[in-house]
Amino acid sequence: MNALTATNFNFPGQTNVYHGKVRDVYFIGDDCLAMVATDRISAFDVILPKGIPFKGQILNQIAAKFLDATADIVPNWKQATPDPMVTVGVRCEGYPVEMIVRGYLCGSAWRAYKSGVREICGVQLPEGMRENEKFPTPIITPTTKAEIGAHDEDISREEIIAQGLIPEAEYEQLEKYTLALFNRGQEIAAKQGLILVDTKYEFGKHGDQILLMDEVHTPDSSRYFYAEGYEERFEAGLPQKQLSKEFVREWLMDNGFQGQEGQQVPEMTDEVVAGITARYIELYEGITGEKLVLDTTAEDLTARIENNVKQYLG
């Protein structure tokens, strides 16, 4: 199985390119983006040394599916998916804030809560909550979008408006969109026997219009629990069965790596890589309820992508 870990395309009308941790974004003309979801995988802000076959296709297709499934709530940047690993869409001016929404107390929010914190991003949290407990209503805990190499920082609604990062009326609209998108995501997840626990959304503007950008409800940007057994595990104080990228982080931690200076990424054997691919396929099929159709015929993924995108661009 091939893995696409680097790209260097020169598409018609291309003006620039940005190589992110896992996606490469090609700027076409003044108004268009071609986003290539590579098979690179990152954890603890580190790109791991081997790619994961089909990971890019899986994330791209999940994101495309959920962009389509939420377009009635808020318009989005997507125009087409000319290749399983590529989405082409409208170029937006992104807001400098990511909208993180949480339905349950877990992850970093639980770690803060356990240490005595009762306010996150200006949101007051009830006393007496337990790990993985459902909030009375979902909460929004925004973060700033950090520069490359830096970490995102928590920020409150009041600070966003006071600092002029987003005008108040526009921020209120982003909150409404965020909660409506999360509600739709939870409804879709429930049909698959899942709980959408938390996720993040990125928005931008195209002219005067607010658009939903980036990926939506993928396992790299969201946390899912299996609904079956949730209550029993919660009452017993046991970890929840998750459908997310958490298994990759757990494998790294079990092998002594958390992205800290001096630590070495454990060896990614062919068996480990194949196991991660299998888990991503499970993620796709669990989240979408559809069988994943894999293109195993393409010996040269770069040539396939280049041909498909050039055909679409005209």
Is the pLDDT confidence value at 247 over 90? Answer: no
Identical fold for domains 14-92+269-313 and 94-243, yes or no, is: no
The domain defined by 94-243 folds into: D-amino Acid Aminotransferase; Chain A, domain 1 (3.30.470)
Q: Which residue has the higher pLDDT, 57 or 147?
A: 57
Q: Superfamily for 14-92+269-313?
A: Phosphorylase Kinase; domain 1 (3.30.200.20)
The residue ranges of every structural domain in the chain are: 14-92+269-313, 94-243
pTM of the model: 0.90
Beta bridge partners of 119: 124
What's the pLDDT at 136? Answer: 96
- Would you state the structure tokens that stand for residue 7, as one six-digit string? 């790209």
Q: Is the pLDDT of residue 296 over 90?
A: no
Nearest to 19 by CA among 39, 36, 2, 4: 36
Contacts of 201 (CB under 8 A, 6+ apart): 98, 99, 101, 177, 178, 181, 212, 214, 216
Residue type, 295: D
Tell me the mean pLDDT in the region 158-162: 96
Residue that is written with structure tokens 């298994």 in the block: 247
Beta-carbon-side half-sphere exposure of residue 256 (alpha carbons within 13 Å):
6
Strand partners, 43: 46
**Cα(179)–Cα(138) distance, integer angstroms:** 8
Query: Taking 70 as the threshold, does the pLDDT of residue 314 lie above it?
Result: yes
Q: What is the mean pLDDT of residues 13-41?
A: 95
Residue-level pLDDT at 147: 60
Q: How far is CA 262 from CA 40, 149, 236, 250, 268, in A?
A: 22, 17, 38, 19, 18
pLDDT class for 260, splitting at 50, 70, 90? Answer: confident
The least confident of 23-32, 41-50, 97-106, 133-142 is 41-50
Query: What value does the mean pLDDT of the chain take?
Result: 93
Across the range 2-23, mean pLDDT stands at: 94
Residue pLDDT, tens place only, 109-146:
999 999 999 999 999 999 999 999 999 999 999 999 86
Q: Residue 148: pLDDT above 60?
A: no
C-beta of residue 137 within 8 angstroms of C-beta of residue 104: no
Q: How many Å is the maximal CA-CA distance in the chain?
A: 59
